[in-house]
Amino acid sequence: MPIATAHVSSVTPTAQEAAQEAQRLSALRSLEVLDTPPDPDLDRLTRLVAHVFNVPTCLVSMVDSEQLWFKARCGFADPRFPRETSICHHVVMKQQTLVISDLSRDPLFSKYAWVQQQTNGFRFYAGAPLRTREGHVVGTLCLLDTRPRTEFTEADRTRLSTFADVVMSILQSHQQRLEIRRERELLSSGPVAALIWDTHTPASLLYRSGNLHDILGEAAMRHLDDGQPFEQLLPADRQDAFRAALQAHALGLDTWQEITYPLADGERWVQQITRGDLDNHGQLVRVRGFLLDVTATKRMEASLRQQEAERRQVQRLQALINEAQQNFLLSKDIQAACEALFEPLLQITGSRFGFIGITHIDEVGHKSLFVPTISNISWDEGSRHWYEEHQKRPNAMRFNNLDNLFGHVVTHGEVVLTNAPATHPASRGTPKGHPNLDSFLGIPLSFNGEVLGMIGLGNREGGFDEAVQQLLQPLVVTLGTLLHARVVEDQRQAMEEQLRHLASVDALTQLANRRAFMDAAEQQFRQARRYQQPCTLALLDLDHFKRINDEHGHAGGDAALKAFSQVMKQSTRETDLIGRVGGEEFAVLLTQTSEQEAWVALERIRQQLSQTTVAHGNSTMQLTVSIGMAPWHSALHGLEDWLTQADHALYGAKSGGRNCMVCATTPSIGRTVQPAEHPD
């Protein structure tokens, strides 16, 4: 039946409407698509929509304050159009789909020049709103025809709205790509330099970030540009340690080193963290390194906080065609997400066989096809055995040999449509036990020209044709976008986890840093107050640390700090917390421990350290520590009060000659007990 005409009155907007329009324009400009080159994906989509609805013109219009910007257009030459004489303006204001069966008979739109033209004047219009996840209508997906159309059904409206959702997902994916690129540029210009080495001896540098120059200087860059080994940049006495650190990654170990690089403008202290990447067989394939100039620690922390805040602002992609596709984006279980898509796909296409495959490229560039879900093809005893055997494999199925009909789709990035698979040039037969294919349709899932996966369908009654391929095109575009979003999300989570680790651990000792320790101590204090649990806070200070630095240099001081950290780790339980809270000052939090038990544990640390000889270069060091312990008691007002008691006790230990421990008794802060006076 004919579609009723809808009009929007042209009246002066209210204050609320003006505010809503300002918010809408802000949402539009945040997409960063105005006055930009055409988008190939959107151009293909508009051609598809025009074909589906059999109209000569299809436009993706972004409605600005004064004009329409056509981000994609089919059958229309001008890249923009005045807003005041456009119908899309009314779709935006009404915020709903608008259909005009015959523009020449419409009292509002018939006066427009582009309608009154005798030749090629437009007579039909249908426009669906492009809506952001926040609900702002930023533009339209519209259809135009030079002839009236008296029939535009509710099903047509639904299809047009569905296509509009796909357009919006592509636009917001473009926005996310811009944000991710800015984040990477920010990281590249920040204080942390990234490197990748191979596993050869000596290790060759495969990659270095651009900001390595800022840390190691021009001479080092020339050295690397000449193909010289990275390790030769290190002092001679640190090169063996560097090589040993790289070799340790074959055992799955991460390493941390603090290295003094001799540069033309003086020495520079760099914290170097390296981590090995292992393949599926546990073999080392490369080593990743991160270099941090510790003189810029404060700037680094500020930059990392800024990056983390920006990452939190990166919004998830808008939910797409249905709940299954949303699960694909949000779920880490790719197999479950694919299965949610799979059965409806088989039903829609009438296929008896099918799979969704995801491409995987390993460290050496070899491409394989990971198949998280495949249809049950147990049509007879042989095919049932093949299917059951492959279902038992961990992580579903993976095809490493892509020299076949399936692989041709992802290696060439082109559709394979054949109703005689055995005669196709790429056919190499089917795996042993696999049922015969009577017909096959393979469609690559791509994003920005990169093949990320494929849809494979087979054995459709009557075979496959281009109509089936065109039917699946919106789903193909959406799945390509979602696969890309899943990769981006995994990378973001991995980066956040790495940054979170760097922000909470002291790089030298690998103990909790001051902030992490104080957060844990605050939580323990509250728990002790609530449940009346015994626990003890202790402050430990290496004796004569300045003299150690003066006599043995900063490298010797670092060796002393690491040796002391190791003694504390060996002398405490996993449930206890150790932190580095200052240069040579450490703190220990002993949970579920009485005062006497805490005394014994801390005294064990003191004695063990005094018996430890630390070798550094050609010299050795004997270390001692002063300890101030403060058992928790109900009279404490808070963590600061608790720390004050421990600090007073530590002062007493230092004043008492060092290499001893003093306990702040409760409830009086000022009373102390010397080691000899404490009960055994």
CA within 13 Å, CB half, 133 = 14
What tokens appear for 483 in the block? 């696969």
The string over 364-381, giving b where at least 16 C-beta atoms fall within 10 Å of a residue's C-beta and e elsewhere, is eeeebbbbbbbbebeeee
53 CB-contact burial (10 Å; exposed 0-12 / middle 13-18 / buried 19+): middle
Residues facing residue 538 across a β-bridge: 588, 629
Give the residue numbers marked as catalytic: 584
Which phi and psi angles does 377 have, rounded to 5°? -110, 25
What tokens appear for 327 in the block? 């699960």
What tokens appear for 217 in the block? 């200087």
> Reduced to 3 DSSP states, what percent helix, strand and coil does the chain have, rounded to the nearest 5?
45, 25, 30
252 CB-contact burial (10 Å; exposed 0-12 / middle 13-18 / buried 19+): exposed
Q: How far is CA 464 from CA 336, 373, 456, 472, 560, in A?
A: 27, 21, 12, 12, 73
* Residue 538 backbone zone (phi > 0: left; psi -120 to 50: alpha; other: beta): beta
Cα–Cα distance for residue pair 416/437, rounded to 1 Å: 13
- Edge to edge, the sheet with strand 137-145 lists 80-82, 67-74, 57-63, 137-145, 124-131, 98-100
